[in-house]
Amino acid sequence: MKSVIDIKDLSTKELEEIIAVAEDIIENPEKYAHKCDGKKLATLFFEPSTRTRLSFEAAMYELGGHVLSMSDAMSSSASKGESVADTAKTVSCYADIIAMRHPKEGAPLVAAMNASVPVINAGDGGHNHPTQTLADLLTIHREKGRFDNLTVGLCGDLKFGRTVHSLINALIRYKGIKFVLISPDELKVPSYVKNEIKDCGLEYVQTKDLEEFMPQLDILYMTRVQRERFFNEEDYLRLKDSYILTPEKLATAKEDLSIMHPLPRVNEISVAVDDDKRACYFKQVLNGKYMRMALILKLLEVK
C-alpha cells in the first residue's frame, strides 16, 4: 500500500505512467467509468479548498466510485480534540483511500503512518502539494511536449507557496531546467528547496524583477501571496500586490510562453490576461481532475 505525501514518493517512471493514463482518460473516458465501482474516497479538508477537493470528488465519481466528504474541520471531531492519527485510523474503517488537506505541515504524513488505506496529501501548510504538481506536469506536458530544457519562472510567494515547493521537486529530475525565482526578499524560496536544486546540478537565479527575465521564460508560474500563513496582517498588506501580471508586462514575453497559476488568483494576474492564448490556468484546473483520476487508479492498484 502506497501513500503520496511528497511528489518524491513517485518515481519519474511513475509520474510518466500517471501522465499516460491521464492522457488515455482524456481520449477514452468511457473506458474508466466503472473502474472504481464500489470504492470510496474520503476527502478530509481541514483548510479551505475549491479545486482540490471538488476535483478529487469529481475524479472519484467519474471512475464510478463514491465519496465521503469532510469539508470543514469545525464539523469534525478534530474540533473536540481528536488527533490526526485517530482520525486516520477511524476513516480507514470507512474508505478505501483518503485525500487530506491540513494547515499543519506533516499532518498527512502522520495520517499515512496511521491509516490502513493509502493517503494522498492534498496540501499541508506551507510545505507540499503533490497533486497540484500532477496537474502542473500534465499542463506542461500538453503545452510544451517536454520537461527538459525549459526556463521556468516562479513568481510571488515562493516561501509559503506549497505548490512551488512540490513543482520544483518534480522538475529537478529533468535536464536543462533553469529556474528563475521571482519574489520579494521576504518571500524567497526556503533554503531546503534551493539546496535540492543545487544538489541536482541545476541552475537558478533569484530576483525581484519579473520584467527583466520575462523574455527568457518558457513557463511563468504565478502564485498568490499566502495571507493565511502570515504572522501579521501589515506584512501581508505590504506584500500582497508585489506582482500583478498585465497584458503590457507580457509584451516582451515569448510567443509560446505558458502562463500558469495553481489558483485561486487574488490580484496576481489581471483578468485581461485570460484571453491571451498563452494563459493556461483554467486548463490546469481540468488537468488536475484527470491526474487525480490516474493517481487514484494507481494507488488503488486498479488495472
Q: Is 61 helix (H, G, I), strand (E, B) or coil?
A: helix
Of residues 94 and 282, the one with the C-beta less far from ligand NCD = 282
Q: Using CA atoms, how far apart are residues 203 and 198, in angstroms rounded to an integer?
A: 7
We find the least distance from the C-beta atom of residue 239 to ligand NCD, in angstroms, to be 14
Q: Using CA atoms, how far apart are residues 32 and 292, in angstroms rounded to an integer?
A: 13
Q: Does 133 bind ligand NCD (CB under 6 A)?
A: no
Q: Does 166 bind ligand NCD (CB under 6 A)?
A: no
* Residue 80 falls in the annotated catalytic set: yes
Cell numbers given for 183:
519574489
Q: Does 132 bind ligand NCD (CB under 6 A)?
A: yes
Q: Using CA atoms, how far apart are residues 108 and 249, in angstroms rounded to an integer?
A: 39
* Residue 50 falls in the annotated catalytic set: no
Residues 32-91 that bind ligand NCD (CB under 6 A): 51-52
Residue 269 phi, psi dihedral angles, 5° rounding: -130, 120
Q: Using CA atoms, how far apart are residues 86 and 181, in angstroms rounded to an integer?
A: 39
The correct pick among 129, 141, 159, 289 for binding ligand NCD (CB under 6 A) is: 129
Q: Does 125 bind ligand NCD (CB under 6 A)?
A: no
Q: Using CA atoms, how far apart are residues 55 and 295, in angstroms rounded to an integer?
A: 12
We find the least distance from the C-beta atom of residue 158 to ligand NCD, in angstroms, to be 12
* Residue 52 falls in the annotated catalytic set: yes
Residues identified as active-site: 51-52, 80, 101, 129
- Binding region for ligand NCD (CB under 6 A): 51-52, 123, 129, 132, 162-163, 224, 262-264
